[in-house]
Every structure is written in C-alpha cells, then in structure tokens.
Amino acid sequence: MFKIAVAGTGYVGLVAGVCFAEVGHNVTCVDIDEKKIELMKKGISPIYEADLEDLMRKNYALGRLDYTTDYKSAYRDADAIFIGVGTPEQPDGSANLTYIATVARQIAETIEKDCLVVVKSTVPVGTNDKVEQFIKDFLVNDVKVEVASNPEFLAQGSAVHDTLHAARIIIGTESKWAEDMLRKIYEPFNLPIVSVSRRSAEMIKYASNDFLALKISYMNDIANLCELVGANIQDVARGMSYDERIGSKFLNAGIGYGGSCFPKDTKALEYLARQHGYELRTIKAAIDVNKDQKTMLYKKACRRLITFNGLKVAALGLTFKPGTDDIREAPSLENIPLLLEQGAEVYAYDPVGADNFKKKFPEGKIGQGTIKYVNDIKDALHDANICFIFTEWTQIKDLKAEDFKKLMKNALVYDGRNIYDVEKMKRAGVEYYSIGRPSSIKAYESEEEVAASNE
C-alpha cells in the first residue's frame, strides 16, 4: 500500500482521499482551513454526501486517514500526491488555475523523495505539462517527480459509490513508471483502467461532461418544441430510451443543468476552442439553451400573472440536484432573485441546502421582496399564491396533488422537474405547468390506465 497525500478537501479531494483509505492506503488530506480540519477529525464532513461521514470515521479510527493544514509534513515523504483543489470559472469562461499553481509550488519546495503528482482537478488540455514543468522549475531537492492526469467522474449525491464502483479509471501518463504506479494505487479498487496520454486524459474529462450537458440541453430544446406542437416530452424520451445508441440516462427535460461541473466545463472547453481559433458550435448551443432554460418557469408565470408583488411564493428545492447541499449554478439562484425584485414574499424549502442559500440570500427583506426559510414543505405551501419547484427531492415528490389544492390559497404550480402527473393535478383542481408536456393526457386510455392514474 502507498502513502498518499491529497491536496484539497472538496468533493474531489475529500472523496478521493476517503476512498483511497477505504481500500487500504495511508492517506493524509490537506486543507488550509483549520476549523474544517478539526471538524473532519471529528468525523464531520464539510460537504453533504451519502456514506461519506461513515467512511471518514471508520478509516480515521483505523489510522489510515488523517487531516492536516501542515502540507510540508504531508508532502515530504509521500509516494503520490493527488491534487483535488478547485479550478473555478473566470469571467471569460476560462479555468482559474491559481490553486493548482499554489499546490504545485508547495510540492516542489517540500518533497524529499521520488514522487508522482496526480492532478484530479478538471483542468484545460495541456495543463499537466505546465504543472510538471512548474514543479521542476521550483524543485528544491534532487528527486524524481512526474505529473499524471487522473480526472474524476463522480456525481454529487453518489460520489462515494461512483468512486468505489466507477465504470472506469482514466489515467494519463507520459512514462511507464508513472503508469505502473497509478495502476498499483488503483489495483485494490478492481476496476477497469484506461491508460492514455496526459492530454488525452484531460480531454476525456471535458468531452464526457460536455457530452452529457449537450444531451440535457438537447432534450430541453426538444421539450420546448413539444409544448408548441402538443407532444409529450416524457413519451418522447421513453421512446428514445429503447435505442441502445441513445440510452436512457440524461433524457429528463427540466429547467437546466447546474452544479460545479457542467456549467464550468462547457464554458472552459468552449473557451479553449476559441483560444485555438476553433468554434465548438454544439457546446456553445448547449450553453445558450441552458441559460435560457433556467428561467423558463419564471417566464411562463410572468405570462400568467400581472405581478408577483405581495404574493406568497413557495420555492421548493434550492440545490441544483437532490442528494447534495451544493447550490452552485442551481436554477433557484436565477429565479428567486427575479421573484424578489418583483416584490414576492418567498418561502423557501430545501432539506439540506437552505444554509448554503442563506449565505447568498439572508432571511429577511431583499430588494422589493422578502425571503423566509422553512423546515416543513407545508409551511411553504400554506396560503401560497404560487409554487415553483426547482429540485426533485423525495420530500417534494411525495406530495400529492390534493396537498397543493388543500394548502395553497391559489393552487398554481410551476414544476421545473416534471414530478407530477398532469392529469392527476388537473383532476385535483391544480393549475399546473411543467416542461415539455401538454396540459392534458392522450384522449384514449385503457381501463387499466385509467385505474392506475386514479391510484
């Protein structure tokens, strides 16, 4: 087993470090935030992620996992150092590599033995070449150091499972020594390994994420057309899913993608193409469609209402997807400010994301409107004039059509995740708008279908 240091304790770094410890490696996670380190030593994760805290406590107790702000002690004699720090988006769409550079210099000035540096962060193609040269430029001791690319493909909300049961491990190296070491590090995972060059590994990450983003935007574009021609996007998606060339995943229409990956990675790849004099027209289209899609519900509601001023608005779901407390690029961030500008009284509910949302929108008066956070969905819906659904949390999906009719002053619902059955909502007396679905179901039904829809 190897002695591994991991720089960064966000989604990428912490999950990777914990999972390396879980398969038997000795791991030290490094972060600059002392309070964060102390919490992690107590088994408290800084991110909301299923199963993560259990594995943190287990491997910390076994002595295989530790946390520190002292990067020198962590890097000094590590066999491999994994970089999992953020590469946030800059105003022009490019990736900010400041954190990568900081860690690279710390490594160069600290390591005392031969070491493999592995970049897990999502970085533009060619970055690993620069990181290796940067480390060698500042190298203090006469040791061998190489840089490898090992992009992650985890999904927030299932990150631990995705890491331990990945479809494949991508490793990008420029030497047999680096490839062999990475293969040995990942051997206990017993997963397929795809070994390519560093630049190919960097591109695989972007190409994969951007393809999924493109798939989502395509379905949202088709959904918008479905509304105009009277087709049902869910029927269309079901019919498409049987084609093995298309598959069944990422076919759900809604109000756009968010999170820390798809928005940033599509813009970064589009920027990279422009820097090389090439226009990625498909990716640019995906970005444009997603931007418009996020406020689709608000625009629909504006066509229905004269004003939001003084109306109680229930906002259900604040995170960009269920299973995480991450609100980055969430549709709620686009819609709620628009509602507040119009003087709405927003009652926001999310099972885990409210605290993060409060950091951007503190409870109370904001602009012309007000925002209040509630712990119970029914408190948000009680006497509401209108309801917006931004995230498909189970707690929201469990609501019945009758709940909206019973609790709301005006049963007017705008569902950005197509959670509820159109006809059931109609029969319950709910004025219901969703994405890409007609206002009524097909004119003919079998007796079995009618019975099922009444359950």
Q: Which residues are catalytic?
A: 261
Helix H or strand E segment including 447: helix 447-453
Q: Are 48 and 324 in contact (CB under 8 A)?
A: yes
Residue 413 φ/ψ, nearest 5 degrees:
-125, 130
Distance CA 448, CA 398 (A): 23
Question: Two tokens at 141?
Answer: 């001791």
**By three-state DSSP, how is residue 431 classified?**
strand
Tell me if residue 18 falls in helix, strand or coil. helix
Contact 447, 419 (CB under 8 A): no
Number of H helices, E strands in the chain: 20, 15
Residue 26: strand, helix, or coil: strand
Residue in this structure with the two tokens 């602009």, named with its chain if needed: 367
Cβ count within 10 A of residue 310: 12
**CA distances (Å), 339 to each of 81, 157, 311, 314, in order?**
46, 28, 10, 11
- The span from the CA of 448 to the CA of 225, in Å, is 30
Contacting residues for 27 by C-beta, under 8 A, at least 6 apart: 4, 5, 6, 17, 18, 20, 21, 59, 64, 65, 66
Residue 67 is classified by DSSP as E
Tell me the C-alpha distance between 347 and 373, whole Å.
6
Phi-psi region of 2 (alpha: psi -120 to 50; beta: other; left: phi over 0): beta
Instruction: Return all residues near 58 (Cβ < 8 A) that are at least 6 apart.
Output: 22
Tokens representing residue 134 in the block: 């940067």
Closest to 128 in 3D by CA, of 210, 201, 209: 201
- Other Cβ atoms closer than 10 A to 300: 16
Other residues' Cβ atoms within 10 Å of the Cβ of residue 221 = 19
